[in-house]
Structure 1
Amino acid sequence: MGATALMFAAKAWSPSFVERLLEAKANVNAEDRYGATVLDLVNDDVKFYEAQKRKEQEDCRRRRLAMEVSGQILYDRPNVEELEPFCAP
């Protein structure tokens, strides 16, 4: 598939394997058959997850506003901001 072990470990979000591969001098500049490096793959994943987080925050605000306006109790999940471990108080 043209991907390296480091790419698979990074895509699987496995810090322990990434560390082991980096200690074994894995080539971080190696490209897959599409010309993407490990950093490109990780950046794409981070952008995707950040976009999903923003969408969930907007959906959560919309659900809570709908409950406040209508007075109905709707299905809701915990607020993403409340689950964020690095959220400033």
Structure 2
Amino acid sequence: MATNLRLRADAEEAVRSRAAETGQSQQEVIRDAVDRYLGLGGSDTPRTDSDSMIAERQVLPERSAFRELDRAELLHLPSGTAALDLLDRDDRL
């Protein structure tokens, strides 16, 4: 089936990026994403556990692709505070 698809700018960039990373065409990337979302594909078993959960609608697929953070977006801890201190608190189980 042929169809037109209007993507948001961030989705368009993610498709282009994935196509460049994998060597696939943008069309192949989109078809693969639709197949994974609908639980379709060449084999009866999903490729990963997350594919299974998405196909069974136990979880939703990620809303945006992974992106690197700018240095300005990083969390800066006060002097003398370590990330482990934030995780090792009494209010956590």
Same fold? TM cut 0.5: no
Alignment TM-score, normalising by the size of structure 1? 0.26
Comparing both structures, which one devotes a greater share of its residues to helix? 1
